[in-house]
Structure 1
Amino acid sequence: MKDRWLLACGPFFSIEIAMTMTEQLNALGSILAQGSLHSLFQPIICLSERRILGYEALSRGPSNSPLHSPVALFSVASHAGRLSELEIACLLYTS
């Protein structure tokens, strides 16, 4: 039987993934082992000073994965106790 996870994303939408815990952990393990992450960085700019203040990142799992959504990916990693490992991998595997 599959567990249904309802992942709250904000006041207007949510994401639901239907996977067993084993499937979730296996998917996360494969993503981390293969480095199949897609991370993009966008500058945060101070227009009045015309300078870059920092960067924000968006990281996703593979497009063919139930963990493609950043919300699903980071939620499963958090529940699995592998959030730090995922965050480091996101920095290593940038686009």
Structure 2
Amino acid sequence: MFLKNSQNSFINKLVIRNRVNKSSIVPYIKKYIMKEKRVKYLAILETLIGKDEDLFSQKDEVEEFKLYDIQVLNYYDLFIDINNYVKEIE
């Protein structure tokens, strides 16, 4: 829904964590960002059947995104943990 409602926006970094155990969201992400080249950096971590899978580890997918000038990064490299951020400020 977010991507559909932000069709005229460019997103520098898009970080998604999908905890739904039914199906991957990657095909839907491709539909909304590949054709329009609306994202520069992308990181997706999905929990499928109780197992975490980082898009960064799927080399075929990474290469496909690269064709559209979208750089796929490790989820934890882009993810900002608010607890760590607060500790750094204190």
| TM-score normalised over the length of structure 1 | 0.31
Name the structure with the higher strand share: 1
When the two structures are superposed, what TM-score results if normalisation uses the length of structure 2? 0.32
Larger radius of gyration: 1
